[in-house]
Amino acid sequence: MGTAVQQRDLFAREAIAQIPKILTLLDRNRHSPTYGCFDRNFWQYKIIDFPSGMSQEFVLPLALAYHTDISGNAFYQQAVLRDWVEAGILYAAQSAHIDGSCDDYFPFERAGGAAAFSLLACIDSYRLMGLNNPKAIAFFERRADWLAHHHESGQLTNHQALIVLCLMMLQQLVGGDRWQSAVQERLERVLTWQNPEGWFQEYEGCDPGYHTLTISCLGRIYEQNPDPRIKEALIKAVNLAAEFVHPDGSYSGEYASRNTYNFFPHGFELVGRWYPEALRINDQFLNGLANGLAPCYADDHIIGHHTWNYLLAWRDFVSDRPAPQPRPQGQVWFKNAGLLIDRRGSTELYIALNKGGVFKLFRDGKLIASDTQFSVQVQQGRKRRNAVAHLVGAYETQVNPDQIEIRGNLGWAKQKQMTPLNLMILRVVMLTVGRFFPNLIRKLLQKMLITGKKAAPFRFYRQLQWQDGQWQLSDDLQADSWQVVEQVGIGCDQTSIYVVMSRTFQAGQLQPWLDLTDKAHSLRDRQPLHLERRL
């Protein structure tokens, strides 16, 4: 793997490679009315009618690249970056609503996540670049006031932790304790939303990916406020995260509540200063990074998050690393999360019992199977619908030392797309009454696109049995009628809820689709489709 310095530089090189694209997304024309805007769809292509406030988060990768002294970094100490960072902060202020909030996906959305991410980036960048701009400070204060009083729908712990960090950093910047009551309230919420198993609530359960972002925020919060409760929460959170680093160095995936491969390393470096186990997590992830197993987040909307977090991990990298340890053995069952990990010799199974038995299986340090359960495409009148077995639900499960069983109904996949009419209706609603009730609109969209499950007329039974040193997999799918089924199969990376950070490419997804259509079409009605596999 190389020296600690070489390991550290992997973070920086991966991040610096994204800077040219981030600069392409930026309007760098000083005489443009959108100078400083990072939403190219708005200022260049003109295909949307408002800029995404989240895009202004991209000032932080630029500010950090300016300070990253590594060979090959063409952006190190380039004076023009200071101008572009300041322009980005001022455009965040210019494009915000009068109360300091911003939109992300639709007008007058007033998105809490976008406001928090971009404010954190702006405050951090302002300090890093040594700026002195009263307009920027006034904007920070307006947005902080709005965040302090805004309560979004849904339980997203990472957003709460981000808000705590923003308010604490701004208090340090401007002095005083103006937002201290909000800091305490939000911090209490973060600690309360941590499950006794160590994970933080993300919509319908545990997402190890977003979990690492909450660790990153709490790690910085703990540096400013060494509260023993925060330390205890971080230790439990790190111990949980350690379980989801796969033997090849990849992390999390479709078995998580939000289907992400997210990995934010910065918090592990901060916690690793006093809890070395956290550093082992980053070291394992760096092995995967060196072998090309990091997911790709280089699209126009999400490229910023990991870029700045990687650069912070490089900056705060702990040089004294603990020795690697052998992979743990045995079975770990997070019952509240619905996640089970089974490690036997060189075989490791990660399975989501609360998602119908979606799993990843590794042997000898390599991924040999990724399975996101049955997917059935049916024709209903003039519409095609998709029934899947991987939605979060209350499935019947039985876990024994050598056998795992899951059974239940498939659910209808959430495949709602925008149409010209839908967009027109949304615009009219948001430009009239919706602008006064953005959280209600958000709640309705969450229910439509993310949470909940409507049962489909298919039932499955999945059994995994350990026999002769390997897992034997038996699947059954029952249908009232096979005549309406157009296609049926099992994919390695299929997901069916809207999560902005999901559906990214990762090398483990280079597995073929298992097509069971011909087998299904040969069956009589109510005759089960049966599949046996040795893994």
CA–CA gap between residue 289 and residue 313 (Å, rounded): 14
Transcribe 415-472 into DSSP letters. Answer: -----HHHHHHHHHHHHTTGGG-HHHHHHHHHHHHTS---EEEEEEEEEEEEETTEEE
Tokens (6 digits) for 497: 């809820």
CA–CA gap between residue 285 and residue 291 (Å, rounded): 10
Cβ atoms of residues 393 and 512 within 8 Å:
no
Q: For position 26, what pLDDT does the model report?
A: 98
- Cβ-based neighbours of 517, under 8 Å, separated by 6 or more: 485, 486, 487, 488, 489
**Beta carbons within 10 angstroms of residue 372's beta carbon:** 26
Q: For position 430, what pLDDT does the model report?
A: 73
Query: CA 432, 437, 441 angle in degrees (round to 5)?
Result: 95
**Beta carbons within 10 angstroms of residue 252's beta carbon:** 27
**Beta carbons within 10 angstroms of residue 39's beta carbon:** 25
Q: For position 109, what pLDDT does the model report?
A: 87
Residue spans of the domains in the chain: they are: 4-315, 330-414+451-534, 420-449
CATH classification (class only), 4-315: mainly alpha
Phi, psi for residue 144 in degrees, rounded to 5? -60, -40
Q: For position 419, what pLDDT does the model report?
A: 79
Single-letter code of the amino acid located at 361 = L
Crossing angle between the packed helical segments 59-67 and 303-315, to the nearest 10 degrees: 30
CA–CA gap between residue 22 and residue 108 (Å, rounded): 26
Q: For position 2, what pLDDT does the model report?
A: 61
3-state secondary structure 375-393: EEEEEECCEEEEEECCCCC
Q: For position 448, what pLDDT does the model report?
A: 63
Nearest Cα to 22, choosing from 65, 82, 80, 77?
65
Cβ atoms of residues 315 and 11 within 8 Å:
no
**Beta carbons within 10 angstroms of residue 523's beta carbon:** 16
Helix, coil or strand: residue 99: coil
Q: Report how far Cα 324 is from the mean position of its chain's Cα atoms.
A: 27
Tokens (6 digits) for 368: 């040999």
Low-confidence residues in the chain, pLDDT < 50 = none
- Helix, strand, coil tally for the chain in percent (to 5): 40, 20, 40
Helix, coil or strand: residue 244: coil
Single-letter code of the amino acid located at 142 = R
End-to-end CA gap in the chain? 29
Nearest Cα to 117, choosing from 87, 164, 159?
159
Q: For position 203, what pLDDT does the model report?
A: 80
Helix, coil or strand: residue 32: coil
Helices (H), ranges, 175-276: 180-192, 208-224, 228-242, 266-272
Q: For position 403, what pLDDT does the model report?
A: 97
